[in-house]
Amino acid sequence: MRKRNLSHPFFIGGLSAFAGALVALTWHTDPAPFPEARVPSVPPPAVRSEPISPLPEPPLEPIAKVALGDRLFHDPRLSSDGTVACAGCHDLGKGGTDRRARSLGVGGAVGSINAPTVFNAAFNFAQFWDGRAATLEAQVAGPLHDPAEMASNWTRVVASLQADPDYRRGFAAVYPDGITPDNVSDAIASFERTLVTPDAPFDRYLRGDREAIPPDAVEGYARFKSFGCTSCHQGVNVGGNLFQRFGAMGDYFADRGNVTRADLGRFNVTGREADRHVFKVPSLRNVAVTAPYFHDGSAQTLDEAVAVMGRYQLGREIEAEDRRLIVAFLRTLTGHYRGVPVQ
């Protein structure tokens, strides 16, 4: 069996030096090894040793497969009523999200959880807030079958795609066995691996350009580290590689009230009491354009989210000036997609 550290699911948490030590004492042991998620590529080394690494350029994927996946990602015919596409909840023009606390599915059904960004998702060690899918390919089936999302099934999807001559030709050119659930998932995942947003100002700063970010952001990054935030948000994706409990230093859910099944987090996957309210730490990449925040979409601004993280993950009230500086740093994590800043 393999032990994995836990890290909270919120864009700015992280523990103080004391709480960081506490995390080291609260590892979870899964009943079986968790499959490794595939990532696009290994990032180049940073100019200086830092807990965060620059994003690499998008990986090279077969052009025909990516084009097919792009079309599928934007095709509402994957849903039961032909109204909801993957891009509906993961709009590439809205930071890879829909900017709703909860997404809308077929027939206007309201989802149970905030849709995470699809940008840089290939760098996550698992997919979904509760980490129930190990790969991008495995993730595809989740929203497709969810009655509050696409409310469809593979039989319906394959039949719909088979009825389209362009899809038949497109799949035949890439996959010898044509249109199958595995091939649909593979094409969409191949496209999603190209959704990398490199060249954020902070990436340029890490590579040695000391003028890439303003002095307030430099100071904000120093405080981000000194408060212990990088114990959870580090690496190439500034998160996405750990599980953590929301409320390490305070009972967020008791204070918020109205606990839902989605609030149980990884407990819904493992059934273990130790996993109650445990979530995958999300990436902070492009966080300035992906509000609202947290799995429940309860924080509307970065300032509010930083305050909540201080209270429930650090056990402290973060002063207004500290919040302002940290937010200045977080704004430098917005990268570029196809040469244009993520909006």
Residues 49 and 90 in one domain: no
Supply the CATH number for residue 327's domain.
1.10.760.10
**Residue 30's pLDDT band (boundaries 50, 70, 90)?**
very low
Query: Is 278 within 8 Å of 267 (Cβ atoms)?
Result: yes
Token pair of 202 as six digits: 């902070």
Residues 176 and 146 in one domain: yes
pLDDT in tens, 205-221: 999 999 999 999 999 99
Please give the model's pTM, rounded to 2 decimal places. Answer: 0.85
What's the chain's length in residues?
Answer: 343
Whether residue 18 is contained in a domain is answered as yes
pLDDT at residue 49, as a whole number: 87
- The two beta strands, 278-280 and 243-245, are antiparallel
Residues 38 and 156 in one domain: no
Shortest CA distance to 41 belongs to which of 216, 237, 309, 245?
237
List all residues 6 or more positions away from 99 whose beta carbon is below 8 Å from its beta carbon.
91, 290, 291, 292
Tell which of 192, 226, 241 closes a domain.
Answer: 192
pLDDT in tens, 72-124: 999 999 999 999 999 999 999 999 999 999 999 999 999 999 999 999 999 99
Three-state SS at 285: coil
What are the counts of helices (DSSP H) followed by strands (DSSP E) for the chain? 13, 6
Whether residue 343 is contained in a domain is answered as no
Tell which of 176, 192, 208 closes a domain.
Answer: 192
Shortest CA distance to 236 belongs to which of 96, 330, 333, 313?
333
What is the crossing angle of helices 154-162 and 181-192, to 10°?
80
Residues 188 and 204 in one domain: no
Residues 207 and 324 in one domain: yes
Catalytic residue among 61, 137, 149, 317: 149
pLDDT at residue 60, as a whole number: 87
pLDDT in tens, 141-182: 999 999 999 999 999 999 999 999 999 999 999 999 999 999
Q: Which amino acid is at 310?
A: G
**Backbone phi, then psi, for 6, in 5-degree steps?**
-110, 140
Residues 188 and 203 in one domain: no
Three-state SS at 332: helix
Residues 178 and 94 in one domain: yes
- Please identify which residue in the block is written with the tokens 């934007």: 74
**Residue 19's pLDDT band (boundaries 50, 70, 90)?**
very low
pLDDT at residue 57, as a whole number: 85
**Backbone phi, then psi, for 326, in 5-degree steps?**
-65, -40
- Please identify which residue in the block is written with the tokens 């965060």: 52
229: domain range?
Answer: 3-56+197-338
Whether residue 334 is contained in a domain is answered as yes
pLDDT at residue 10 is higher than 60: no
- The answer to whether 61 is a known catalytic residue is no
pLDDT at residue 13 is higher than 50: no
**Residue 132's pLDDT band (boundaries 50, 70, 90)?**
very high
Mean pLDDT of the chain: 88
Average pLDDT for residues 223-236, to the nearest whole number? 95
> What is the domain count for the chain?
2
Tell which of 145, 171, 192 closes a domain.
Answer: 192
pLDDT at residue 2, as a whole number: 37
Average pLDDT for residues 317-334, to the nearest whole number? 98
Residues 226 and 123 in one domain: no
Proportion of the chain above pLDDT 70, given as a percent:
86
Residues 332 and 251 in one domain: yes
Residues 151 and 216 in one domain: no
CB atoms inside a 10 Å sphere around CB 145 = 13
pLDDT in tens, 183-203: 999 999 999 999 999 999 999
Token pair of 303 as six digits: 């300032």
